[in-house]
Structure 1
Amino acid sequence: MRTAKRGAFIVLEGCDRSGKSSQSRLLYEFLTSNGYPAKHMHFPSRTTEIGSTINSYLKNSKELNDQVIHLLFSANRWEFLKEMQNLLNTGTTLIVDRYSYSGVAYSVAKGMDFDWCMAPEKGLLRPDAVFYLKAPIDYLIQRDDFGRERYEKKDFQSKVANVFDRLCEEQTEFWHSIDASQSEAVVFEDIRLKAMSVLNKAKHKPLCLL
């Protein structure tokens, strides 16, 4: 069912330390300061019981097998489906730091099957746009705090980047590659311009599912 004016669903993806958190915050602040209803979200959301388990795993204080943690990441996104639908349908734009694509990229990088990893995401909301912050891994590992969490290892991040590249190539209709090795201001201006176009196009479109 079409709504009169809905918010846009924008996701920022990329390897660790590619600038997703900073750029998603900047975009959220730009929108709200210019009168656009917006909400900033981050996955995994560590506020729920499932999110707390994920947090323990990421901080290396809990061990889980690869299939279990993959499904927990997916379940964490499902926990917020209704809230996200309601916000979008009432005109709020969602700026989301990581989504289903991170879940798939990180699990496939471990050697898991791509289609198996995508299966639990079917039925979740499809973004109107994914901004893929892309930069050489050798550049990213020089950024502050790299290596603090479980997946922040050079070889592993290279494998993650390969999966993101595949997703970007296969879903060109709504994926946008952004050169994240540029200055924060230049990256943001690129994202800002693309985001405003996405907001205008999303107004009268129905929500789509993965």
Structure 2
Amino acid sequence: MSEEKLICDLCPSKKCYSKEGEFPKGCPTVDQPGMEEIKKLYKTEENYRIARAACQTEKEGYLKDTRVEEIMRFCRKNDFKKIGIAFCIGLKYEARVFADILRKNGFEVHSMMCKSGGVPKEFLDIKDEEKIRPGTEEVMCNPIGQAEYLNAKGTNFNVIVGLCVGHDSLFTKYSDALVTTLVAKDRVLGHNPVAALYQADKYFKNRF
């Protein structure tokens, strides 16, 4: 593998993980500029606490905890008591169940649905033919509004439940609190996007 083409997903070695074998030429473990400076960032107070809690959460719940449980375990380790949920209207039921679980486990929960604000898509200069249902009034998603609402509530940690691609990016950009994802939206695959990868050389081969 040439240095020009070396990227981690094509690497034949796992020395960075297993310590066995050799580092390929151009490996970011040894050649990435600023790696030592990056390591220093983990020693800053907040990053150290978060990264350490993430490692502990992984170990304590490994092959045992669901992601819902991992989120709660991580929050307890960081003393995050106010949890925000930014959810898609299509996953209102799932968001309600998740919020109920959090409340029963002692967390204070604040949530906001994607369509809150009621802003029509015309605000973004969306043409009628660009709507999901042309000829109807459609409300745009409002991820910035979701983030600002949860910021105002002073949430310690925010959880995405099924926001659209791009909307999740804007929510993360404007969220003051750390963000994780409970549900990644995939309308075709029942919100299980990794299924497309498992079938990339089979059922989805012609599409990809």
Fold conserved (TM > 0.5)? no
TM-score (normalizing by structure 2)? 0.35
Relative contact order, higher structure (CA 8 A, sep 6+): 1
Larger radius of gyration: 2
TM-score (normalizing by structure 1)? 0.35
